[in-house]
Amino acid sequence: MLHGNALRQAITSPGTTPLIGIYDMYSASIAAQHYNGFFVSGFGFAASHYGLPDIGFIAWPDMLAFVERLRLAFPAHHLLVDIDDGYVDHEVACHVVQRLERTGASGVIMEDQRRPRRCGHADGKLILPLEEYLEKLQLVLSSRKDLVVVARTDATEESEILRRAAALAETDADVVLVDGVRSVAWIRKVREVIGDKPLLFNQIAGGKSPRLSLTELSELGVDVAIYSTPCLFAAHGAIDGALNDLKMADGRLPDTRETGSIGVKGATELLEKNLSRHHGNRRPARV
């Protein structure tokens, strides 16, 4: 089955399909033990690859190379990729979408922000004129073959949110995302205005949107949920804690046999699962 169609079927199946935000190959290796779908988050990629905030630094060849490595290690996982605004230019957006599809991406999210861009849950977002975004979106849609395309709006004014959501639902995009939606009431409003078009909800710790379970999202008619940064933020806390403990212990490493913490053996066993000869032996992820 083609990767796009596999994700499309998951999105249109009953319930809400979760896609977990990963930021490097190691976080993906851990996430693969629990979930069968990844979200290649712009926030996480900018942080891990450049050490910079998610405000437009990502170069598309870097993202393409990362997705290529992911697909080789995880041949059966869904890979939904954040491509920001399509890297500004219409023709670049089409080129990137075609390259990502050939590399094995399952889908992309393309937003209607204009530069300088911001994280979808940050203040100060600027948006393109709707007609300009729709022109770019239509070109991207005509460029893909199987790839899932999520049309995203970063509008913040209430009437403009609904106007854009309705317009995106009229296109051939597979899914609609209103990023930074602030309440359950607004999820319901968006769900109503886009009709039968699949709806995506973005959850990020400390963001503007409510924290909701998959059961709650399913009851609201949300078809797919992306979790942008759980791995990145967990690593932030764990690394900070581990180094503080190391400092307090005068540089003595913990005994992994006593603490049950990860050591070289556990890490190596995890990474060996990504070798192509072991793909058939990977432990099934939770759907």
pLDDT in tens, 54-113: 999 999 999 999 999 999 999 999 999 999 999 999 999 999 999 999 999 999 999 999
What topology does CATH give the domain 3-281? TIM Barrel (3.20.20)
pTM (2 d.p.): 0.92
Q: Which of 56-60, 116-120, 215-219 has the lowest mean pLDDT?
A: 116-120
Q: What is the residue extent of each domain of the chain?
A: 3-281
3-state secondary structure the chain: CCHHHHHHHHHHCCCCEEEEEECCHHHHHHHCCCECEEEECHHHHHHHHHCCCCCCCCCHHHHHHHHHHHHHHCCCCEEEEECCCCCCCHHHHHHHHHHHHHHCCCEEEEECECCCCCCCCCCCCCECCHHHHHHHHHHHHHHCCCCEEEEEECCCCHHHHHHHHHHHHCCCCCEEEECCCCCHHHHHHHHHHCCCCCEEEEECCCCCCCCCCHHHHHHCCCCEEEECCHHHHHHHHHHHHHHHHHHHCCCCCCCHHHHCCCCHHHHHHHHHCCCHHHHHHCCCCEC
